[in-house]
Structure 1
């Protein structure tokens, strides 16, 4: 049986860790969802008037936001007005026992409310204080607002996405937000490890723009090696060939040969070993140089057979290949089903909604059959107040 992180009960390697979550929309909530999946108790502090902005984002199932559920399952909710002295006192009650505070307000907002990092460090020296923002806590853009598309545009990834001469294209998933959320979660876990050794809390400062640059893979190295900014290449890899989507009789498949022996193995399997002997295609560097000619030569025979034929044939030959799945096909793939990557939400009112579970598997923690529900606004107030006197 596959083992994985636990559910809202707190089973997981972060069991016993208390996270006070002052974030909203995506980057911060995605981070704290990851921590909840790892077993942390996440207390989501929301605006009493309307809660997290994403509660108003569709799609809706019986009046509940699927967007909100997907990022906030497994958390608890309490509504606090951080400008209200009584509610500020409640937040201090939480912080006295919290391990982590995470916020994604514009820099300076928390300090103006009396909850800046310097003030809280004096009161709670072991607290991990994590901030996720568009541009970080310092620098000339620190005060600017940002959304995912801002980070994607400024961070270079939109310039690499799509096809050459196509209009600017946003990555289909919100990689600007999600990348920052991932790096914030990693920063928090690292800071907790440091605290275990030193007894000291610390600040974690993650910017969406910084995170976007960190995810550019080899594009930065390509710029410095050539002096030219890389351009969009569709599905093609900039320095490996064959490594892209290829047309077949009834659609497209992906074929990826990451080294010369694998390319020769592919050519031998498909009965076109002469391609591996062609001086234009003899090495990966040459294939990358003549990538369009290589694609034309491959599609000349690939288009004679169907997707199913080639996937079966190449799979048996040990050639890395794949269908280009839509979302429905991806979530119903037998491997995805076996790994329990997508699981139903434990909330009959939104059935049959499923969400992505944690992709991290651990020995010792059994994969759940469902993912815990997302809280209604202020739903957990009574229990939280009782637990944090």
Structure 2
């Protein structure tokens, strides 16, 4: 029984940002009803899978949900959705608001059947600017928020995208944050509202916390950017036989490091006097420390650094992380039986709660596999359900 037990959320999202957000809400106990088009969420077909439409990425962003297939372009499909919305606490979508209006599912139209509903849109851009109607994808938002420029400055000068759909995940969590606040207000007052969570503005605020720097001031004190994060030598240290992730950060850690390697002479140098001095010389410091790390093996460095209480972690691959001793000890990965896919690996909710522990509520659903149950619970009669199935306004499972 998670903290959102008893809350019903209509999930009209697809791809990654919205489904990641609604999976988080489902883990908290919400009844998330995933409303899919007849073609299904495109992510069903990304990556390897045992059966069509059940790819690994889909399984990892849609667990704990129920699926119903509604053709929202049909009037009967739209009316069915509105009947579901009349009983829901919230509706979340991630297409452009203009598309929702064309479907007859704008906030005003949904609120007409349920004034208390939380109607949350997570899409590309705020609706008061010139980008309002533009499409948005993770790569585009990374670029607009300056991420490739930062990677170019920190690397070989070539702009690159982060090899994670990082904007989708970050903005998805911002949508969760907004939804939880709105649901708390709803539960206290009964009042619903519309919430827009734009990707561009959300990612810009996320990136600029680190990198606005001297541009915070008028007039500017510099050209922006946090020097330590932009150092081209800020990367896993190469050892004599591999790589290791180490961060020697504060005064105590630098002193401990140089004492551990018997090089206390470094401490007399002005560039190691304090954090500000180290930041000014960060490129040369990282380069010099990198040369020192080449002198020992990964295992030797881990033993030395852990003994000196200096932050160190292994550099995992996607395979080696599955055997990480800490993740194994906390039970991070578990193998479960999926009713269609058989044995699959899933990740636990990383936070720990003393009273209402969130947990995966069940496997990711097959396309439309819960349609009959969802309609029945919403008060549709057997005759209505069969009529919707016959007209293909709702695609029902066999």
TM-score (norm 1): 0.89
Q: 1:108 — aligned with what?
A: 98
Contact 2:82 2:110 in 1 (8 A): no
Question: Which residue of structure 1 aligns with residue 178 of structure 2?
Answer: 187
Task: Give the counterpart of 2:142 among 152, 166, 190.
Answer: 152
Aligned to 1:27: 17
Unpaired segments ≥5 residues, structure 2: 380-398
Residue 12 of structure 1: SS of its match in structure 2? coil
2:33 to 43, 58, 64: 43
Separation in 2, partners of 1:87, 1:67: 28
Structure 2 CA distance for aligned equivalents of residues 129 and 334 of structure 1? 42
Structure 1 counterpart of 2:384: none
**Could you tell me how far apart the structure 2 residues matched to 1:346 and 1:138 are?**
47
For the residue of structure 2 that corresponds to 1:346, the secondary structure is: strand
Tell me the equivalent position of 2:44. Answer: 55
Q: Greater shift after overlay, 242-251 or 267-276?
A: 242-251
Q: CA deviation at 1:366?
A: 5.6
Out of 313, 326, 336, which is 2:304 matched to? 313
C-alpha change, 1:110 and 1:378, in structure 2 (3 Å) is same
Among 328, 335, 338, which residue is 2:329 paired with? 338
> Deviation at 1:264?
1.0
Match of 1:219 in 2: 211
8 Å CA contact 2:85–2:113 kept in 1: the answer is: no
8 A contact 1:237–1:244 mirrored in 2: no
Q: Deviations over 1:213-249 (max 9, x none)?
A: 1221311234445431439x8xx5359xx97532221
Alpha-carbon displacement from aligned partner over 1:155-212 (angstroms, at most 9, x marks no partner): 1112112543332111111011111111111100000111222221111111111121
Report the Cα distance in structure 1 between the residues aligned to 2:214 and 2:148, rounded to whole angstroms. 16
CA RMSD in angstroms, aligned pairs only: 2.3
Establish whether residue 230 from structure 1 lines up as the match of residue 225 from structure 2.
Answer: yes
Q: Is the CA contact 2:59–2:363 (under 8 Å) kept in the aligned structure 1? A: yes
* Distance change in 2, residues 1:299/1:158 (3 Å): closer
Aligned pairs (5 A) from 1:112-151: 112-151=102-141
2:352 to 351, 361, 384: 361
Query: Would the alpha carbon gap of residues 111 and 266 (structure 1) be closer, same or farther in structure 2, given more than 3 Å must change?
Result: same
Q: Which residue of structure 2 aligns with residue 291 of structure 1?
A: 282
Structure 2 counterpart of 1:251: 242
**CA 1:292–1:88: 2 relative to 1, 3 Å:** closer
Contact 2:27-2:358 at 8 Å conserved across structures: no
2:174 is the counterpart of 1:174:
no
Matched with 2:266 is: 275
Provide, for residues 262-296 of structure 1, a one-character-per-residue CA deviation record: whole Å limited to 9, x for no partner. 21122112211111221122212222222233234
| Residue 295 (structure 2) pairs with residue 304 (structure 1) | yes
**Aligned in 2, Cα 1:157/1:296: closer, same or farther, shift over 3 Å?**
closer
> How far off its partner does 1:45 sit?
0.5
Unaligned runs of 5+ in 1: 1-10
Q: Indicate if the aligned counterparts of 1:345 and 1:371 stay in contact, CA closer than 8 A.
A: no
Query: Does the CA-based 8 Å contact 1:107-1:136 persist in structure 2?
Result: no
Moved more, 340-349 or 285-294: 340-349
Per the alignment, residue 5 of structure 1 pairs with none
**Structure 1 residues 81 and 296: CA distance shift in structure 2, 3 A:** closer
Deviation at 1:94?
Answer: 1.1
Q: 1:29 to 1:213 in 2, by over 3 A?
A: same
Q: Distance in 1 between matches of 2:15 and 2:349?
A: 19
- Say if 1:346 and 1:248 are closer, same or farther in 2 by CA, change over 3 A: same
1:87–1:62: structure 2 CA closer, same or farther, 3 Å change rule?
closer
User: How much does 1:137 deviate?
Assistant: 3.3
